[in-house]
Amino acid sequence: MRSALQPMTLSRVPDALIRHPLPCVRCKYDLLGLEARGTCPECGASILNSLAARLDLDSDSFLPMHGVRRVATTIFTAAIGLAGGSCVFLALLAQVASHAFESDGFTHAVPVLRGIAVGCTLLGFLAFIAVLPWIRHREFIRAHILGAGGFAMWYAAAIQPPSVIIATYAALPAAMVLLAVTPLLRDLGPRSRAYRSARATAQRIDGLLLSTGLAGGASATAELLASTTNSDDIATVLRLTAGASATLSLIGFCYLLLNSIWILRAAFRPLLTIEQAFGVEASATNPTIRK
């Protein structure tokens, strides 16, 4: 979370009274009715520091969006579906480990991982059907089709017994869901900058698409080569590449989940705008707080 207003933005904070309940960052005293450039009467902390924690000077740069909270919830649920759906891959690894080490622990983990994958992919499907607003806009229509279709295909894979073919096939619906989330994340992600730095909000979906596609492509190619002669070494390299790419994708899905939590927080607990903090008339009469 930001700790102080940047010097370049200080000129945009008016020398006016605070018109909205604002707790002091140090003692939680309500600063309502006090001057913005003053200090807290209880602890002496600068009111600017309290404004830094609750004031968003860049909110007017965001494009208006219908159903911001529902879109943020969809992104969060899709991230859960992506991370949880990856248990299809983990279930395969657990099954291989159970045969290799003859361990009951790995054997019992297989149905648990399959259950997580089934539940998370079903949750993601419902999010794109029932939570994401039905708006006649190209990005939303594409998100509905790709998101719901991708999770439906992923659910069909999750209910099957773990196998290399199923794990390879799961790369396709994962890519579809990523394509569905991309425009939503691009439009809504910057809003979480109110709580974090701009760099921390960056989410490289193109990198996730690359690693997911590489995992599926390498695994599929390895399976095709496995049936031919004199290609065992190449198939082994491709399987290792697929495993490494799938692992990177899983890490990326987890990061997307963490990122979506901040987006969800920014959507459900947005920071104050200048108009809310100082009254509508403050931005209308004081040109120093207008862009």
pLDDT tens track for 124-137:
999 999 999 998 88
pLDDT of amino acid 33: 86
pLDDT of amino acid 2: 43
- What's the Rg (C-alpha) of the chain? 24
pLDDT tens track for 200-235:
566 678 888 999 999 999 998 888 887 776 667 888
Q: What is the pTM (predicted TM-score) of this model?
A: 0.77
pLDDT tens track for 77-95:
999 999 999 999 999 988 8
pLDDT of amino acid 188: 81
Q: Tokens representing 285?
A: 């009469």
Burial of 65 (0-12, 13-18, 19+ CB in 10 A): middle
Q: How confident is the model at residue 1 (pLDDT cuts 50, 70, 90)?
A: very low
pLDDT tens track for 9-35:
444 555 678 888 888 988 989 988 888
pLDDT tens track for 54-63:
776 555 555 5
Tell me: pLDDT of 284 over 50.
no
User: What per-residue string of b and e applies to 233-268 under the rule 16 or more CB within 10 Å gives b?
Assistant: eebeebbebbbebbebbbebbeebbebbebbbbbbe
What are the residues facing 30 on neighbouring strands?
Answer: 23
